[in-house]
Amino acid sequence: MVCPRCVESVSGILAGMNISNAEVELGSVHVDRKLTDQEMLTLSQRLQDKGFELIFDRETELVNEVKSALIKYVDHLEKEQNPEKLSVFVSRLTNYNYSYLSKIYSEQTGETVETHLIKMKIERVKELLGFEKWTLSEIAWRLKYSSVQYLSNQFKKVTGLTVTQYRKSDQKARQPLDQI
């Protein structure tokens, strides 16, 4: 669960099950009592029906916490003039040492945190390109790329298309950040 609509959806599931006083945040749910086995089974099934899953393994939880932090980091990059370094931002949100998180993340997903962030930033670039409101230079500045060329190279590496080819193509397939 990594976006506000996800929080809303999970809150609705819990309300529909009459599980009150649940705190629903990005990536986690805290309830004030132990759920029965039947409630857990029903919750698990309803979550799966909406594309979510219950996670009990701590390392998997950490990976999801990192992914949630990365979504927030992309937003942070755009909004802040001098954004925090990725490692500081993720460590602050998760309360874990970044090198530990990075190791767990790589072991669990087969890619680095930085590689995942690049994919997310490229999806955001696609979204901004779709608005046709900003130049590539402005998009590079918004997402704190060091240069338009660097952004263009990353875009080509991730998508297989140049920015120009992408803009001209009929298929502008995008993935939601929480599904990358």
Same domain, 130 and 167: yes
Whether residues 43 and 74 fall in one domain: no
123, 168: one domain = yes
Q: Verify that 120 and 175 share a domain, yes or no.
A: yes
The parent domain of residue 138 ranges over 116-179
Give the pLDDT band of residue 27 (cuts 50, 70, 90): confident
Shared domain check, 172 and 125: yes
Which has the closest alpha carbon to 86: 76, 78, 95? Answer: 76
Q: Are residues 64 and 108 in the same domain?
A: yes
Q: Are residues 89 and 120 in the same domain?
A: no
The answer on 67 and 93 residing in a single domain is yes
Please indicate, yes or no, whether residues 70 and 100 belong to a single structural domain of this protein. Answer: yes
pLDDT in tens, 68-101: 999 999 999 999 999 999 999 999 999 999 999 9
Q: Report the domain count for the chain.
A: 3
Q: Could you tell me if residue 39 is left (phi over 0), alpha (psi between -120 and 50 degrees) or otherwise beta?
A: alpha
Same domain, 133 and 166: yes
Q: Are residues 23 and 35 in the same domain?
A: yes
**Residue 1 clears pLDDT 60, i.e. is over it:** no
- The answer to pTM > 0.75 is no
Question: Does 132 share its domain with 159?
Answer: yes
The per-residue DSSP string of 95-123 comes to TS-HHHHHHHHHHHHSS-HHHHHHHHHHH
